[in-house]
Each structure stands twice: as structure tokens, then as C-alpha cells.
Amino acid sequence: MNQLISFPYQHVLVLGLAKSGTAACEILADNGCLVKANDLNAQLDDPSIIRLKKLGIEVVTGGHPLSLLENIDVIVKNPGIPYENMLVKEALNRNIPVITEIELVQYLTRNQIIGITGSNGKTTTTTLIHEMLTNSQQANKIAGNIGMVAAEVASTLKNKETLVVELSSFQLMGTTTFQPKIAVLLNLFQAHLDYHHTFENYQYAKAQIFSNQDKNDFIIYNADDVNVVEVVQTAKSTRIPFSTKQYLPNGAWCDESYIYFKDQAIIARSEIRLVGKHNLENILASIASCLLAGGTVEGIKQVLTTFTGVKHRLQYIRNYNERLFYNDSKATNIVATSKAISSFNHPVVLLAGGLDRGNSFDELIPYLHAVKTLIVFGETANKIEEAGKKAGINSIIHVETMQQAVEKAYAHSNERDVILLSPACASWDQYRTFEERGDMFVKAVHTL
């Protein structure tokens, strides 16, 4: 196991004991730190809590007493806990640093790190880079917001293994020294404003991915996204743009026939299996990352000629009676859903709805012309129905469960229709995670 190198804190409070918090506790304790842990809802008889207590960690549940801040050097905060949390606010008032588990990665490894962020496309791009490097015989491990705790994976890295890590704005907001060798910024749309409050705050959080880089590092960025272009102007690292619209002699780009890195043709677009115009951007970013990290053109080709998508991200499920079913449960915002709808040339039966974050869905209206039937559910059902009516959709159906949604979608479909779960909302009103929501969809499809 890799040890923390020059970690500047001794007394640590870990706030939130989900996967990342529990892993942080174990890593910190193993490295001789004096650790306290606090979680509002954790149960003291939970096996993971019992394990932490056996490591000598004081665990406090049921509240956030301010007394926990006594003699604390730093808080390692679960990314999902807002900065309005009273313990976090008081810590900042006392000038106690508040970091996320991602910051520990910088102290656990000196290996090459590729960090990927953006409003959409992170999981697909992270997976593509991982697969491309693997097929290039470049040892690497995947981690982060994709499901595996980054610090935990970093602690197991062997010599010359690259860490490929997906990063959310929540995770990046709590970094101060994190410095990936290669940073990827895919796009910037208004998202998570319930957490960040303003788009400027959200942009600032995303920019943390390159804020500590120097001229020997790389920032791969979307030259077609005006918000991204503006943000990367402050980068001190070497800028590598990608574009689906313009020739880039110093980046990744494409024409109607081929994809290029600088002036080298990499692969014919006709050979690529992954559908969707938005995925072309993800592919360009992945190619640039792979080649800069030491990957090969052959390794890239092996992936792009076989890869059809990641689970819950425009994932093809099955053809049932000439209806094509796709699971896009990870589409938790309007932009992701609009791109999913635009990926198909056939009529779409759309399943959408979920947690209400206070936004309207008018931005989705221009893309709903391809939707023949709209199945709505969750807290936002009425809002999405209103957008559907404005778009001229005559067939709009309310349901309570995913099983009902799939059955109604099938009943209102014809041969060659696409039945698409792309909710445009987070899942937390009805499901613990978007994965659980997607799994329920897949199960319902297979029980038709």
C-alpha cells in the first residue's frame, strides 16, 4: 500500500461516511493520523463503522456537534455535503481547511494522473481512456466519480501505473494541491446550481482540475464550448484543444471521414461503433489523452471499433419486437437528455422525470420534436409534461413506477421506435442512485 507523502495534517475530521469517507478514514488511520469521523445517519452497529472503531477512530453519529472541531487540523468532507452544513461553515470561520478525498490522491502517488471533468460525458470519456490505454499495453487503473474511491485506488498503484480518474465539481471544489499530469475539460453547462448557487461558482470548481498544473502538464479542452474556452485562459499548462467543427493543427479534430490528432489520421469515422454526436467530442478528448499518456493508435482503434457505451449512459439494452431500448439513466440534466434524443434518427418514446431542482424544462423543448410519446414520473412529472405540451406532443402519460413506465412505453410504440430512459433529472426522489434507477429500467425491459 502506498503511504501518504508529506501530508501536512495530523488531527483529521472525516465528515460523511459513504464510500469515500470510509476509505479516507482507513487510509488516514493507516498513516498514523488521529482521526475522528462524523455522519448524521450512520448506524453504530454497521459493519463498516465497527471496523473503523477497531482502528481507533472515534465515530460520532446522529448530529454534527461543533465540539468535533476542537484540535482539528483539517476536515475531509464527503463531496455531496453542502458548504452550508453548520460544521463546515464553522470550520471555515475558524480557518480550518475543508478538503475532499480527492486531495489525498496528491499525497499518495507520484504516478501519472489523468483527470476528467465536465458537465456531461465524464464517464464515457474516462472509460474510453482507460480502455484505450489498456489496449495500448499501458498499465492503468480507473477511479473517482465513476464508482471507485480515487484515494483507495491511488494507494494501490504500482510503479508506472496511470490513474484515470473521473471528477465531479463537488470533488474538485475540495482540492488545493491536486495536480493531474493530463486534465480534460469536456464542456460547461449550467448544472448543480442547487449546490454551487451560481454558474461562476460552478465554473470555478471545474477549473480546479487544472489550477495547480504547470507548463509540463496538459489541459485538453473543448474548443467549441465558449464557456470552456473562457475558463482555460487562466491555465498555466500546455493547452490541447479538440473540436468537431474546425481544423486544429495542435489538437484533436475531425472532418466528415476521419478523426485526427494534429495532422495524423487516427481512424475512419465509419469504423466507430459508439453512437451520438456528443460522443464524438468524448472520443476526440479520449484520443488526445491516450496519445499524450503514451498510448498507441492501434490501441485506440481496437477500442473504437468495438466499444458501444458504458452502463447507464446511452446503453443499448435489447431489440424486442423491433423496438430498440436504451438506458441513459445517468442523464441527470437537460443537456444530457437533449443530446441523447438527438442521437437517434427514429421516433423516440421518452421516459423522463425525477428530483425537482427548481428549474423549468423549456430548454428541452427544441429537442422534443423527435418524441412521439412522453412517459413522465417523479417530482418533475408535471413540469416535463408542460414542456412536452409546448413541444406539441399529444401522447403524454404519467406513471408511478419504472415497471409501469416501460410497459406503457412499449404499448405506445411501433416497430423501429427507440424507447429511451433519459430522465433529465437526478434520481433521489425515488431511487438511491441513478444506477438503481437504470437497473430497474433494465429489469423491466427484460420482463416484457
pLDDT digits (tens, 9 = 90+) for 304-338: 999 988 888 888 899 999 999 999 999 999 989 99
**Angle of the 47-54 helix axis to the 19-30 helix axis, nearest 10:** 20
**Average pLDDT for the chain:** 95
Give the closest residue to 391 by CA, choosing from 407, 376, 410: 376
Between 41 and 302, name the one with better pLDDT: 302
C-alpha cell at 2: 502506498
Of 278, 304, 330, at which residue does a domain stop? 304
- 248 lies in the same domain as 135: yes
- 24 lies in the same domain as 120: no
Report the domain count for the chain: 3
Residue range 358-366: average pLDDT?
A: 94
Q: Is the pLDDT reported for residue 93 higher than 80?
A: yes
Q: Is the pLDDT reported for residue 343 higher than 90?
A: no
Residue 125 pLDDT:
96
Q: What is the pTM of this model?
A: 0.80
Instruction: Tell me whether residue 4 is in a domain.
Output: no
Hunting for cell 468535533 — which residue is that? Answer: 68
- 242 lies in the same domain as 157: yes
- 292 Cβ neighbours under 8 A, 6+ residues apart: 182, 218, 220, 240
- Find the distance separating the first CA and the last CA of the chain, reported in whole Å: 47
Instruction: Tell me whether residue 3 is in a domain.
Output: no
Partners of 323 in the β-ladder: 320
Q: Is the pLDDT reported for residue 200 higher than 80?
A: yes
CATH, residue 286: 3.40.1190.10
What number of other Cβ atoms are within 10 A of residue 213's Cβ?
21
Three-class secondary structure of residue 165 per DSSP: strand
Residues 396-442 pLDDT 10s? 999 999 999 999 999 999 999 999 999 999 999 999 999 999 999 99
- 176 lies in the same domain as 288: yes
CATH, residue 341: 3.90.190.20
Residue range 74-85: average pLDDT?
A: 94
CATH, residue 63: 3.40.50.720
Of 248, 270, 304, at which residue does a domain stop? 304
- 300 lies in the same domain as 323: no
- 42 Cβ neighbours under 8 A, 6+ residues apart: 17, 49, 59, 61
Q: Are 141 and 211 in contact (CB under 8 A)?
A: no
- 285 lies in the same domain as 330: no
- 16 lies in the same domain as 160: no
CA distances for 389 relative to 217, 366, 369, 379, 425, angstroms: 49, 12, 11, 18, 19
Q: Which domain holds residue 356?
A: 315-446
Partners of 201 in the β-ladder: none
Instruction: Tell me whether residue 2 is in a domain.
Output: no
% the chain with pLDDT above 70: 99
Residue 205 sits at the vertex; the CA angle it makes with 203 and 210, to the nearest 5 degrees, is 95
- 37 lies in the same domain as 115: no
- 79 lies in the same domain as 183: no
- 251 lies in the same domain as 354: no
Residue 203 pLDDT:
94
- 211 lies in the same domain as 300: yes
- 56 lies in the same domain as 36: yes
Hunting for cell 477512530 — which residue is that? Answer: 57
Instruction: Tell me whether residue 120 is in a domain.
Output: yes
Instruction: Tell me whether residue 6 is in a domain.
Output: no
Beta strands in 64-161 (DSSP E): 74-77, 98-99, 113-117, 140-144
